[in-house]
Amino acid sequence: MKNKTILITGGTGSFGRELTENLISNYKNIKKLIIYSRDELKQYEMSKIYPKKKYPFVRFFLGDIRDIDRLIYATQEVDYIIHAAALKQVDTAEYNPFEFVKTNIIGAQNLVQAALTNNVKKLIALSTDKAVSPINLYGATKLCSDKIFVAANNHKGSKGTSFSVVRYGNVANSRGSVIPLFKSLKSKGNFFPITDMEMTRFNITLEQSVEMVIWTIKNAKGGEVVVPKIPSLRIKDLAKAIDPQKKIKIIGIRPGEKIHEDLISSHDAINTIDIGRYYITLNPLDDKLRKYYAKNFKSKKVKNNFYYNSHENLQYLSISDIKKII
């Protein structure tokens, strides 16, 4: 990270704040760290944590990824872009599809154009398990976004931007997680609302997601989707971990919601390798990428019928494990 300029889209969100703290704590020679988001209140609050006098290299750029002109201006002389900005609420997407398309798909296209225009070295985009075999509009927009970033490597030239994707499941204690909701209901609600007693989700901590992104900055070559090996949890176990005495009410499935989630589908198995800590789904058009991982990480190809599903996952969090997380 020495003498590098880093821009984080959606930098005032849960992930952006955690990444900012990690970079400031562990890398002392960053040239500039740009927090790019459209929420001026969150930027103001974050600027109090990182005041200009103490952190002169931290900058706050107000802007929207829907605005290509602002992005091109903001990404001048930037080395790395971490793309965390997105609209994410599944049920909201079902009723506001145009807005999700503008941010998650058109915003991704704008970032590709801005990065290529300004010769950014690397762009790492955050994805979600909902982009795999999507049944909701949010997942479909993130799948399109992933495809845009992977395909961008086909047009970068020999020295252009490399584009990579990191894909993971629910982030514990983030704003989009069910954990804050259940915590709030512990003291004031009469029950925990659960869609289905069999529901499972992948679980990753903010710290793990940040470590994964930093690993990808250092190691990715462009065109790959990096997937962590993480545990699953049962939503009913989460409720018991927060309050074992509170009743559970089955409220039924919401629009666009799955009972279980996937991080890798069986259709992607043909292009997926195992490097130990992570699975990597490779760009099928890039033979050099497969050779790079074989040489440097001793990768092995997964079985042709392989898939990575939160229900079939071999690693589950117990109630005591969940208590430690929350």
Per the prediction, the chain carries an average pLDDT of 93
Within its chain, how far is the Cα of 159 from the centroid? 26
The answer to whether 130 is a known catalytic residue is yes
The confidence score (pLDDT) of residue 36 equals: 98
CATH domain 5-169+204-230+262-307 topology: Rossmann fold (3.40.50)
Percent of the chain with pLDDT over 70: 98
When pLDDT is averaged across residues 96-123 and rounded to a whole number, the result is 97
CB atoms within 10 A of CB 240: 17
Of the residues 4, 130, 142, 258, only one is catalytic, namely 130
So where are the chain's domains? Answer: 5-169+204-230+262-307
CA nearest to 292, candidates 220, 212, 217, 216: 220
Distances 132 to 184, 285, 304 between C-alpha atoms, Å? 30, 20, 17
Which of residues 38 and 192 earns the better pLDDT score? 38
The confidence score (pLDDT) of residue 176 equals: 64
CA nearest to 99, candidates 55, 66, 148: 66
The confidence score (pLDDT) of residue 254 equals: 82
User: At residue 123, does pLDDT exceed 80?
Assistant: yes
